[in-house]
């Protein structure tokens, strides 16, 4: 199948011209496979479609959008493991490995330790009561509302030992591009019409022959270019899905068209989302040498 190429504006591209290249490809599902002893191996949608395995069906060349930016993120969250929870985990472990006697001994040690820690002017009875409640919660491996009791009795709470812990990876928040489309002749009018139609059709799911399944939309390979090469500075992209698209046919605030019905000024908004997260090892790839990387 011949590659369909649409370009706006219609002018020769010199070696110093900057632009955005959008290649449209068939989506290849990541799939599931077992490696060795029933070890499930997973690949991302981006990995399964990388390396030229999928040929581009269409390509679109557009000027650089109004705003160009990128961003990264990682999921971190606060977490607390106080002494009570640690004691509870230890008691449960003693119950499993050492039996009831070992677990009881561990609980007694927790009680004695807490009784020595919790003291105030009201005497040992208050300290023992608070320590008993804490020891019960320690056995359950949780803090619960026992801090209310301890605070009322002694003006203290259990040290939560709060730390910021890594939770996992995040997909980048997405890329929002805005383009002003103002055809100057019939050729550019046709190009803009084909660009809008191709993007709309490619971003939507299809139906299988039997109509039993719904097939995935196309995916998009985005590249900032300078001349015939990747841009030497701007960021790179992993494979993307076009998640949202809108076209305003009254870009100047009022509808006006040429004799053939083509609007004089249109504004097109595209929102892309990468299929897989960015990892630090991705920066070692030859594809992102030079420039700012992803």
Phi, psi of 245, rounded to the nearest 5 degrees:
-150, 135
Do the domain assignments include residue 234? yes
From 165, 192, 224, give the residue that closes a domain: 165
Same structural domain for residues 39 and 54?
yes
- Total domains in the chain come to 2
Same structural domain for residues 225 and 250?
yes
Mean pLDDT of the chain: 80
pTM reported for the whole predicted model: 0.76
State the residue range of the domain holding 126.
78-165
Same structural domain for residues 142 and 242?
no
Same structural domain for residues 189 and 157?
no
- Give the DSSP H/E element, type plus range, for residue 46: helix 45-48
pLDDT tens across 5-21, in order?
Answer: 999 998 888 888 999 99
**Cβ partners under 8 Å of residue 118, min gap 6:** 126, 127, 130, 131, 134, 150, 153, 154, 156
pLDDT tens across 220-246, in order?
Answer: 999 999 999 999 999 999 999 999 999
């Amino acid at each position: 199948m011949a590659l369909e190429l649409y370009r706006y504006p219609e002018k020769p591209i010199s070696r110093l011209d900057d632009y955005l290249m959008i290649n449209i490809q068939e989506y290849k599902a990541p799939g599931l496979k077992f490696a060795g002893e029933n070890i499930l191996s997973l690949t991302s949608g981006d990995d399964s479609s990388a390396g030229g395995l999928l040929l581009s069906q269409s390509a679109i060349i557009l000027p650089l959008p109004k705003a160009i930016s990128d961003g990264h993120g990682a999921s971190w969250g606060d977490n607390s493991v106080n002494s009570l929870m640690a004691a509870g985990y230890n008691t449960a472990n003693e119950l499993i490995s050492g039996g009831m006697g070992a677990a009881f001994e561990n609980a007694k040690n927790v009680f004695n330790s807490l009784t020595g820690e919790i003291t105030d002017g009201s005497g040992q009875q208050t300290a023992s009561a608070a320590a008993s409640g804490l020891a019960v919660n320690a056995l359950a491996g949780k803090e619960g509302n026992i801090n209310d009791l301890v605070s009322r009795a002694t003006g203290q709470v259990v040290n939560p030992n709060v730390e910021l812990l890594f939770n996992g990876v995040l997909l980048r928040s997405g890329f929002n591009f805005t383009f002003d489309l103002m055809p100057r002749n019939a050729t550019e009018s046709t190009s803009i019409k084909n660009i809008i139609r191709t993007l709309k059709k490619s971003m939507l799911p299809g139906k299988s022959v039997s109509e039993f399944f719904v097939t995935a939309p196309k995916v998009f390979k985005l590249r900032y270019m300078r001349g015939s090469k990747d841009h030497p500075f701007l960021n790179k992209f992993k494979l993307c899905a076009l998640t949202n698209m809108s076209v305003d046919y009254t870009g100047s605030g009022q509808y006006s068209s040429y004799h053939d019905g083509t609007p004089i000024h249109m504004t097109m908004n595209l929102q892309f989302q990468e299929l897989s997260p960015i990892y630090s090892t991705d920066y070692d790839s030859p594809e992102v040498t030079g420039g700012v990387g992803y």
